[in-house]
Amino acid sequence: MAASALPFSIEDLTEVHAEYQKSLGLSDVTWGQVCTKPGGLVLPLAYKKLAANYYNFQFRSGDIVLLSYLKSGTVWTKEILWAMTHLNELHLADEQHIDDRNYFIDRDMVLPHVPGDGFLNTTRFPVECPGANKEDGVVKQLADADKGSRRLISSHLTFSHLNPSLLDTCKVVYVARNPKDVCLSSYNFFYNLGVMETGLAGCAELFMNGMLYYGLHHQHLREALQHRGHKNLHFMLYEDMKADLMAELRKLNSFLGLGIDDDGLKRVAEHTKFETMKAREKSIQIVPMTKDGSFFHKGSVGGWSKNASQELDAKMDAWIKENYSDIDIFK
């Protein structure tokens, strides 16, 4: 199948923007960044080479694709989807990195420099993709080479940056989270990764101005909501998952047509408890952290109110009022 031309342009982020990010404490700008127009996604420089591969990725009817904005419950939902489709192999989660069990295609651009994670430097790539070039995307090419009837694929890219046939081809799950907690979780993530050198207020300003990776949260979410009602799209809210996971698992089970009984869903719930996943990380680290050593922080709802100053909270409230007036999914 002939490759389609990209419906957006990719521009290098200016030095002015990079200095603005640095002034607010983000040191993760030295590798270079780009921005898509339209779309406004701020992405690592590596995206420029990989964009066409992502846009022309060939999805298959048996695939289950997870889309989300950064720090919206992605890893939790990835583990849920894997557990629901591998009920008889749950023990493998203690032995295999989550990205050996789910094709997180963004990894090729956002974490190409992270060594020793048990995935990128394994023997899978040269064996399954002989003669292939790593710079064309290790994860993407491994997914292409996977001949299984069902692939689990995840990305933080928006629909407009992926193959237009996606929704008409396979099942897509989109998980969303309240913007305040997304911002706080992003701060904790970048701080523990060692690339955020100031407090929450600096990160919040970057977040509200779309200068963190993947751009503006409300634009990302709004684009997904434009497809609400499509038979192949299922929305999940992080807050609903925390409030009643079994209820959300039943809905997801129905959407995916897996036919799992409640006993099986209870096993999935137990397997994906926050404490269980955090304990599992001791043997299978998701991303090497430089601060507290764990990818998982607290996984709570409403943490923003305990960490933001009254001034920052009021600023965020005003920003949400201005930008989320047409978004009705948050309670």
What DSSP string runs through 242-305?
HH-HHHHHHHHHHHHT----HHHHHHHHHHT-HHHHHHHTTTS-SS--SSSS-S-----SSTHH
Helix axis angle, 74-85 relative to 245-256, nearest 10°? 60
Question: Given this model, what pLDDT does residue 113 score?
Answer: 47
Instruction: Compute the radius of gyration of the chain from its Cα atoms.
Output: 19
Does this model's pTM top 0.75? My answer is yes
Q: Where are the domains of the chain?
A: 59-323
Residue 114 identity (one-letter amino acid): V
Mean pLDDT for each consecutive 10-residue tract of the chain (331 residues)? 86 91 84 90 94 97 98 95 97 87 90 51 79 89 93 98 98 97 93 88 96 96 97 97 97 98 98 86 57 56 90 97 94 64
Choices 1.10.10.60, 3.40.1020.10, 3.40.50.150, 3.40.50.300: CATH for 59-323: 3.40.50.300
Question: Given this model, what pLDDT does residue 4 score?
Answer: 82
